[in-house]
Chains A and B, each alone.
Chain A
Amino acid sequence: MMNYFPDEVLEHVFDFVTSHRDRNAVSLVCKLWYRVERFSRQRVFIGNCYAISPERLIDRFPGVKALTLKGKPHFADFNLVPQDWGGYVQPWIEALARSRIGLEELRLKRMVVSDESLDVLSRSFTNFKSLVLVSCEGFTTDGLEAIAANCRFLRELDLQENEIEEKKNLWLGCFPDSCTSLVSLNFACLKEINLVALERLVARNPNLKSLKLNRAVPLEALQRILMRAPQLVDLGTGSFVLDRDSDDSETYRKLRGTILKCRSIRNLSGFLEVAPRCLPAIYPICLNLTYLNLSYAAGIHGSELIKLIRLCGKLQRLWILDYIGDKGLEIVASTCKDLQELRVFPSDPFGAGHAAVTETGLVAISSGCPKLNSLLYFCQQMTNAALIAVAKNCPNFIRFRLCILDPTKPDPVTMQPLDEGFGAIVQSSKRLRRLSLSGLLTDRVFLYIGMYAEQLEMLSIAFAGESDKGMLYVLNGCKKLRKLEIRDSPFGDMALLRDVGKYETMRSLWMSSCDVTLGGCKTLAKQMPRLNVEIINENDQMEFAHEDSQKVEKMYLYRTLVGPRKDAPEFVWTLV
């Protein structure tokens, strides 16, 4: 029936199909649909920049306006991937520029971005509107100058947790006076900023909805900025302390008055430096908040934290440090009935284990917040009983990431592994998509995951399991698995090679400090030409020990349509 409609009608219908997966599915129906879909696709998501080439992207989707690219494997966040591994955006930007693609939005994660890339980007796409860089590196403030100066219609510049070399403090001043289109600006990861330029920029951009400052913006400046931008929805404060020499009561009073007018603020973060005495200034807006991120605010704890939380009745997402303690989590549980996402970060990751949070806090949260669907919880210990209770109270987890600081710690009450607890979680949360395990775990937990985690897409394993069986349970059972990352677990060639076809259904597999051997990896690479099997090899000794029985320190494999990458450094071997 649909074949009798002109292409324009199909295209119009497809306009309503927005998610990447749905559009991918649409394109597989028939050749006609494939053709119509590809010319009308504007937003493309590429989860692994080495799975495809820029040329093929441009060829298939000539109308692309918004591109998301991800580079390094996830474990690069934790220093497991050496410098210069790869993930360069330069070839992408060059190719897009050459092809006259009308790029408007670029979102990069864990990629290497150079000043030259930013310069080319800023000059090649006249309608460029949005640049979001997450956990990227390789550029300096010179690159930011180019973006500020040349992107005339820039709406969004969002720099999240990047490593940026700060040369001169001038980039913010490079936004021309005619730049009045900014909606979102985030420079929290920088150390310095030009305050005068910042205030003038905010003053002439009335559509600014999201502003995240850095530590170099003092409280006085925050007050002046908020005066100009009471329409903000999303605020990241900079330094939230009062300088001893300034006239404290006056500044504080002004700030409090200004904040009272900021009725639109729903998301609050920052507090990179904070004095608890200044906190009451934000009390008036707490009741409107749906997202509160205090995970960098080491200066707030104990009673001040509790006082603040008690006012935030509408909170849906809360990110905090474990200073909150189990008692504080009980307060959260009784106050934040709409809570959907909770992240509790460790204040002292290598510490001696002074009371942070334990299973008690988590059970309290699960009891009071049944809508909880996303959890990241760093804790001292966990019990099976607690996990079973949490599973019962909260059957809606989409993301469940538990990190016990001692990664092989058993249930301290029963001394059992935590297999049963995690088993309860996967059995009860039928929509679970992401899971990170920790604690003492045998193969049994993987049996449960294989049996019950039908929607699981990403699994992170560390110091867990006893045998190849564990890994096999997961590979056999989790039909929707896309990313599997494993470190320090006893899985070897038998598990790796049992079902080699599985890896083409996944984005990537990372295994480090496991038991896979060079021989096993070579076998895999030979059998599967459409996988890049990369060995990261930092020791010189490997040069002399090309023995197949040698265990591989780090292996990263991913499906690809474009063969081995040509930019691999000398410590990365792609096996063929």
Chain B
Amino acid sequence: MELQLGLALPSNPTSKAFDLNYYGFEANNKEVDHVIGPCYTSSYEDINDIINIDNNINKNNNKRSFGQAFENSTRDRVVPRTLPLLLWNNNQPNEEDDPKDLENHSLFAANKNVGDGDGVVGWPPIKSWRKRLGHDNQVVRAWNNNQMVENGYVCGGRRASNSMYVKVKMEGVVIARKVDLSQHHSFETLTDTLMDMFRKWSEACEKNSNNYKLIYQDREGDWLFAQDVPWRTFIRSVQRLKLLKSSG
């Protein structure tokens, strides 16, 4: 079946492996009429109106934005009538989005329900338990990779001898820092090191460590007071650190 697209097609779609006619899925007028009834040309032009894609950006590269791809592909093809695309109102991407984002995410609105870290809540559909283990494993793998270069063995349990950098942010300071937790075995040494670190970079804040409370983000994404847990618990689940100004 010839595809009537204006795109530069990389492959010839007539080999046996992907014969689109094999199952009789002829996207031709006759079959569609028979199944559905009267057909209308699709109103895909509406997508462009809603998304407001800047066509100029796409002129010089081969990628098509979602709207353009559909506009071209449906010119020679009849599709069943669709209801007006106004139903998508709530799901519109922010019109100020860089059109390049749309190429990557199609109509996948980036401003919806941002939950787990980088994406939309519940996508991709992986159980939270597995996600958490996956995250842990990524950290372990980083350590593994460090060790493997050295002597071919991995020290799963000996975390003290591997470096363990986590991000630290101090409230009121723009630039975050990183600290190697493997060098510490108690909150005292850790807090001292952190205060030293930030002293160099910010004179505006009070440097007395009593004025700051250390909180950390654990594996489940919860923020907890570091002083509330034993060091052992802390070191095993800490992902990130923050220094908050104490109110009292």
State the A residues within 8 Å of B (CB).
75, 77-80, 135, 161, 163, 189, 218, 239, 241-245, 248, 272-273, 275, 277, 295-299, 345-350, 363, 378, 383-386, 388-389, 391-392, 403, 405-410, 413-416, 420, 423-424, 427-428, 436, 440, 442-444, 447, 460, 462-463, 466-469, 487-488, 490, 492, 513, 515, 551
Q: How far is the CB of B139 from chain A (nearest CB, A)?
A: 10
Within 8 A of A (CB), among B82-129: 82-83, 85, 87-88, 90-91, 104-108, 112-113, 115-119, 121-129
Comparing B5-13, B52-60, B180-188, the segment that makes contact with chain A is: B5-13
Q: Which residues of A contact B126 (CB under 8 A)?
A: 78, 345-346, 349, 378
The tally of CB-CB contacts under 8 A between chains A and B is 194
Interchain CB contact (< 8 A) of B154 among A275, A386, A406:
A275
Q: How far is the CB of A118 from chain B (nearest CB, A)?
A: 20
> Are A405 and B124 touching (Cβ within 8 A)?
yes
Q: How far is the CB of B28 from chain A (nearest CB, A)?
A: 13
Q: Which residues of B contact A135 (CB under 8 A)?
A: 127, 129
- How far, in angstroms, from A248 to B18 measured CA to CA in the complex? 52
Q: Which residues of A contact B91 (CB under 8 A)?
A: 488, 490, 513
> Are B141 and A299 touching (Cβ within 8 A)?
yes
> Are A78 and B156 touching (Cβ within 8 A)?
no
Q: How far is the CB of B26 from chain A (nearest CB, A)?
A: 10
- How far, in angstroms, from A217 to B70 measured CA to CA in the complex? 55
- Interface size class on chain B is 35 or more
Q: Which residues of A contact B134 (CB under 8 A)?
A: 296, 298, 345, 347, 349
Interchain CB contact (< 8 A) of A243 among B66, B83, B158:
B158
B73 within 8 A of A: yes
> Are B3 and A275 touching (Cβ within 8 A)?
no
- How far, in angstroms, from A401 to B156 measured CA to CA in the complex? 34
- How far, in angstroms, from A298 to B116 measured CA to CA in the complex? 20
Q: Which residues of B contact A427 (CB under 8 A)?
A: 23
From A218, A242, A298, A348, name the one whose CB has the most chain B CB atoms within 10 angstroms. Answer: A298
Q: How far is the CB of A424 from chain B (nearest CB, A)?
A: 6
> Are B129 and A189 touching (Cβ within 8 A)?
yes
Q: Which residues of A contact B152 (CB under 8 A)?
A: 277
- How far, in angstroms, from A244 to B158 measured CA to CA in the complex? 8
> Are B17 and A408 touching (Cβ within 8 A)?
no
Given contacts A241-B157, A275-B154, A423-B23, contact A298 B137 (CB under 8 A): yes
> Are B154 and A241 touching (Cβ within 8 A)?
yes
Q: Which residues of B contact A239 (CB under 8 A)?
A: 156-157
From B35, B66, B79, B133, name the one whose CB has the most chain A CB atoms within 10 angstroms. Answer: B133
Closest 9 CB pairs of A and B: A385-B18, A298-B137, A78-B122, A241-B156, A275-B154, A467-B83, A408-B106, A350-B118, A490-B87
- How far, in angstroms, from A348 to B104 measured CA to CA in the complex? 17
**Minimum CB distance partner of A245 in chain B:** B158
Q: How far is the CB of B21 from chain A (nearest CB, A)?
A: 10
Given contacts A243-B158, A468-B83, contact A273 B69 (CB under 8 A): no
- How far, in angstroms, from A551 to B91 measured CA to CA in the complex? 12
Q: Which residues of B contact A349 (CB under 8 A)?
A: 119, 124, 126, 131, 134
Interchain CB contact (< 8 A) of A296 among B25, B88, B133:
B133
Q: Which residues of B contact A423 (CB under 8 A)?
A: 23, 25
Q: Which residues of A contact B154 (CB under 8 A)?
A: 241-242, 275, 277, 299
From A80, A403, A488, name the one whose CB has the most chain B CB atoms within 10 angstroms. Answer: A488
**Minimum CB distance partner of A424 in chain B:** B23
> Are A415 and B25 touching (Cβ within 8 A)?
no
Q: Which residues of B contact A297 (CB under 8 A)?
A: 137
State the B residues within 8 Å of A (CB).
3, 5, 7, 9-11, 13, 17-20, 22-23, 25, 27, 35-36, 64, 66, 69, 73, 79-80, 82-83, 85, 87-88, 90-91, 104-108, 112-113, 115-119, 121-131, 133-134, 137-138, 140-141, 144, 151-158, 161
- How far, in angstroms, from A350 to B119 measured CA to CA in the complex? 7
> Are B17 and A385 touching (Cβ within 8 A)?
yes
- How far, in angstroms, from A244 to B131 measured CA to CA in the complex? 28
- How far, in angstroms, from A490 to B84 measured CA to CA in the complex? 11
Q: Which residues of A contact B116 (CB under 8 A)?
A: 79, 350
Q: How far is the CB of A73 from chain B (nearest CB, A)?
A: 12
**Minimum CB distance partner of A439 in chain B:** B106
Q: Which residues of B contact A442 (CB under 8 A)?
A: 79, 82
27 A-B residue pairings within 8 Å (CB atoms): A78-B121, A79-B116, A277-B152, A277-B153, A298-B138, A345-B126, A345-B134, A347-B134, A348-B138, A349-B126, A350-B117, A384-B20, A403-B125, A406-B105, A410-B66, A410-B106, A413-B11, A414-B13, A436-B125, A440-B106, A442-B79, A444-B80, A463-B107, A467-B87, A487-B122, A490-B83, A515-B87
**Minimum CB distance partner of A278 in chain B:** B154
**Minimum CB distance partner of A244 in chain B:** B155
Interchain CB contact (< 8 A) of A80 among B25, B83, B122:
B122
Interchain CB contact (< 8 A) of B18 among A242, A389, A444, A462:
A389
Q: Which residues of A contact B18 (CB under 8 A)?
A: 383-386, 388-389
- How far, in angstroms, from A538 to B235 measured CA to CA in the complex? 34
Q: Which residues of A contact B106 (CB under 8 A)?
A: 406, 408-410, 440
> Are B133 and A462 touching (Cβ within 8 A)?
no
**Minimum CB distance partner of A469 in chain B:** B80
> Are B82 and A80 touching (Cβ within 8 A)?
no
Query: With A273-B156, A386-B18 given, can you name 14 additional A-B contacts, CB distance below 8 Å?
Result: A77-B125, A189-B129, A241-B156, A243-B155, A272-B137, A275-B153, A277-B154, A298-B134, A345-B134, A349-B134, A406-B108, A407-B124, A462-B125, A551-B90
- How far, in angstroms, from A492 to B90 measured CA to CA in the complex? 13
> Are B125 and A79 touching (Cβ within 8 A)?
no
Q: Which residues of A contact B133 (CB under 8 A)?
A: 272, 296
**Minimum CB distance partner of A75 in chain B:** B122
Q: Which residues of B contact A447 (CB under 8 A)?
A: 35-36, 80
- How far, in angstroms, from A241 to B144 measured CA to CA in the complex? 10
Q: How far is the CB of A100 from chain B (nearest CB, A)?
A: 36
Given contacts A78-B122, A386-B18, A415-B7, contact A424 B25 (CB under 8 A): yes
> Are B107 and A443 touching (Cβ within 8 A)?
no
- How far, in angstroms, from A161 to B25 measured CA to CA in the complex? 42
Q: Which residues of B contact A410 (CB under 8 A)?
A: 66, 69, 106
> Are B11 and A407 touching (Cβ within 8 A)?
no
Q: Which residues of B contact A347 (CB under 8 A)?
A: 134
Interchain CB contact (< 8 A) of A408 among B13, B108, B153, B157:
B108
Interchain CB contact (< 8 A) of A244 among B122, B128, B153:
B153
- How far, in angstroms, from A296 to B118 measured CA to CA in the complex? 21
Q: How far is the CB of B2 from chain A (nearest CB, A)?
A: 12
- How far, in angstroms, from A423 to B152 measured CA to CA in the complex? 49
> Are A392 and B22 touching (Cβ within 8 A)?
yes
